[in-house]
């Protein structure tokens, strides 16, 4: 039976429980089955004033690539949603959510698989527009694409001229644009038009992200070739040649 954490947990108990879950993930035939139980534990670790639980989590993940994959591809996304829910329901303060989100982003960076695409192989370009306030969805998507075998670069917080200049130099197989709100989605057409007009190369442009939940029509009418939050659908649409991904025995030293 998978243990569930109480509402409040000391750092020592949280460390012990995280180790137990890491052990379960290591032994489970389908580790994703314990992902739901991990979410409140990891959220508590990111919110905790003591950094021992976070150090324990990262240590366990760096020692086990399978556990790291589970965290990055399954658990961390749900932790981010839980933090958002806590903020919307007034269970968490703005400071709590900001600190925890920063720690979550740092954990993704530490556990990510660096894969700068070579110039002679196909790659994708993920764009977080300068006006977009939420970067975590694009970070999650970029890391998932890399783990699926799609070398992906992430451009965040750049002006449209800077994006155009870099995209022209990179010459990606396809461009993906992350958007999270109505306000952000409403500005997509100007970016899509610039990408088409100012870059000599032609490539599919795909938009997606949290805005697809309530603003799907707006995203679909942005001028992009496809609007979806399904990464597999995006890969199929642009006919991307996936590379074989080898999961290391240990991710230590990432």
Q: Is residue 94 part of a domain?
A: yes
Instruction: Report the greatest alpha carbon distance in the chain.
Output: 57
Mean pLDDT, range 139-160, rounded to an integer: 88
Q: What are phi and psi of 142, to 5 degrees?
A: -60, -45
CA distance 231 to 237: 10
Count how many Cα atoms sit within 13 Å of the Cα of residue 92 in the half-sphere of its side chain: 22
Say yes or no to pLDDT of 15 above 70.
yes
What integer pLDDT is reported at residue 227 of this predicted model?
94
* Range scoring the smallest mean pLDDT among 59-68, 78-87, 115-124, 217-226: 115-124
Q: Is residue 208 part of a domain?
A: yes
Mean pLDDT, range 194-206, rounded to an integer: 92
- With tokens 């139980």, the residue in question is 37
Residue 103 and residue 133 share a domain:
no
The answer to whether residues 178 and 208 touch, using CB atoms and an 8 Å cutoff, is yes
Name, of 5-19, 112-126, 215-229, the range with top average pLDDT.
215-229
What integer pLDDT is reported at residue 164 of this predicted model?
93
Q: Is residue 251 part of a domain?
A: no
H or E stretch at 199: none
Residue 91 and residue 25 share a domain:
yes
What integer pLDDT is reported at residue 144 of this predicted model?
87
Residue 233 and residue 130 share a domain:
yes
Say yes or no to pLDDT of 97 above 80.
yes
Estimate the crossing angle of helix 76-88 against helix 136-148, to 10 degrees.
Answer: 170
What integer pLDDT is reported at residue 117 of this predicted model?
56
Residue 132 and residue 104 share a domain:
no
Say yes or no to pLDDT of 116 above 70.
no
Residue 134 and residue 190 share a domain:
yes
The answer to whether residues 166 and 195 touch, using CB atoms and an 8 Å cutoff, is no
And the tokens for 18? 């995280």
The answer to whether residues 202 and 183 touch, using CB atoms and an 8 Å cutoff, is no
CATH of the domain at 157: 3.40.50.280
Residue 77 and residue 155 share a domain:
no
Domain that includes residue 48, residue range: 11-111
Say yes or no to pLDDT of 247 above 60.
no
Residue 153 and residue 56 share a domain:
no
pLDDT tens digits for range 33-49? 777 888 999 999 999 99
Residue 25 and residue 57 share a domain:
yes
Residue 160 and residue 57 share a domain:
no
User: In the chain, how many domains are there?
Assistant: 2
What integer pLDDT is reported at residue 238 of this predicted model?
92
What integer pLDDT is reported at residue 37 of this predicted model?
84
Residue 202 and residue 151 share a domain:
yes
Residue 226 and residue 149 share a domain:
yes
Residue 144 and residue 48 share a domain:
no
And the tokens for 27? 């032994």
* Range scoring the smallest mean pLDDT among 20-24, 126-130, 175-179, 236-240: 20-24
Q: Is residue 249 part of a domain?
A: no
What integer pLDDT is reported at residue 127 of this predicted model?
94
What integer pLDDT is reported at residue 180 of this predicted model?
86
What b/e sequence results for 174-199 when a residue is b if at least 16 CB atoms lie within 10 Å of its CB, and e otherwise? bbbbbbbbeebbbbbeebbeebeeeb
Query: CA angle, corner 148, sides to 169 and 32, nearest 5?
Result: 145
Q: Is residue 45 part of a domain?
A: yes
Q: Is residue 246 part of a domain?
A: no
Mean pLDDT over each residue of the chain, to the nearest integer? 84
Say yes or no to pLDDT of 252 above 60.
no
The answer to whether residues 189 and 179 touch, using CB atoms and an 8 Å cutoff, is no
Where does the pLDDT of residue 160 fall: very low under 50, low under 70, confident under 90, or very high at 90 and above?
very high
Q: Is residue 39 part of a domain?
A: yes
**Residues above pLDDT 90, as percent of the chain:** 35
Q: Is residue 201 part of a domain?
A: yes
Mean pLDDT, range 189-215, rounded to an integer: 91
Say yes or no to pLDDT of 213 above 90.
no
């Amino acid at each position: 039976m998978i243990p569930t954490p109480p509402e409040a947990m000391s750092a020592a108990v949280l460390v012990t429980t995280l180790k137990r879950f890491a052990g379960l993930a290591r032994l489970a035939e389908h580790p994703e089955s314990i992902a739901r139980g991990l979410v409140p534990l990891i959220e508590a670790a990111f919110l905790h004033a003591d950094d021992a639980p976070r150090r324990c989590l990262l240590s366990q993940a760096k020692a086990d690539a399978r556990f790291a994959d589970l965290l990055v591809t399954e658990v961390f996304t749900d932790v981010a949603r839980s933090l958002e829910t806590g903020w919307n329901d007034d269970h968490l303060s703005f400071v709590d959510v900001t600190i925890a989100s920063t720690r979550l982003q740092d954990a993704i960076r530490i556990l990510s698989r660096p894969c700068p695409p070579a110039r002679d192989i196909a790659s994708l370009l993920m764009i977080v527009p300068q006006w977009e306030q939420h970067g975590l969805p694009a970070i999650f998507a970029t890391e998932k694409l890399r783990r699926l075998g799609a070398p992906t670069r992430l451009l965040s917080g750049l002006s449209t001229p800077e994006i155009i200049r870099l995209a022209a130099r990179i010459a990606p197989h396809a461009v993906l644009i992350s958007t999270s709100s109505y306000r952000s989605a409403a500005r997509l057409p100007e970016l899509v038009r610039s990408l088409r007009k100012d870059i000599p190369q032609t490539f599919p442009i795909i938009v997606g992200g949290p805005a697809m939940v309530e603003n799907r029509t707006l995203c679909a009418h942005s001028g992009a070739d496809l609007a979806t939050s399904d990464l597999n659908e995006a890969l199929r649409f642009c006919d991307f040649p996936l590379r074989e991904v080898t999961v290391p025995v240990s991710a230590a030293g990432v």
